[in-house]
Amino acid sequence: MAKKDETLDITPKPEKISDGQLVELKRIVETINKMIHDVGNMTLQKHHIMHQVAEQNDNLIKLQTTFREEYGTHDVDLATGTINYPTDEQTDKKD
């Protein structure tokens, strides 16, 4: 049972938001959905690129192995193509 000093609010409550508010709400939600979609696409692109990087790393390792077999080292100056053979000091440090 309600207390005597409490009053009931009988004013009708709105059933809908305004058209302007609905337009703004839809715009914000659509923007968020597009951003989420874009993040998903970027994630897929990143995954694909990471696979390509791994493939190129494998290619590099194969080429370095060829250089070691052919020249005794894989140390090459990338700018000039000069082979950097180990000096006797570097060879002694490995032993």
Condensed to tens digits (0 to 9), the pLDDT of residues 29-50 reads 999 999 999 999 999 999 999 9
Indicate whether 93 belongs to any domain.
no
Give the pLDDT of residue 72. Answer: 95
Q: What share of the chain is helix, strand, coil (3-state, %, to 5)?
A: 65, 0, 35
Give the pLDDT of residue 87. Answer: 86
Domain that holds residue 51: 19-87
Give the pLDDT of residue 2. Answer: 55
Q: Across residues 76-93, what is the average pLDDT?
A: 84
Indicate whether 5 belongs to any domain.
no
Structure tokens at 58: 């494998």
Total tally of structural domains belonging to the chain: 1
Indicate whether 29 belongs to any domain.
yes
Percent of the chain with pLDDT over 70: 87
Give the pLDDT of residue 64. Answer: 98
Indicate the pTM of the whole model: 0.64
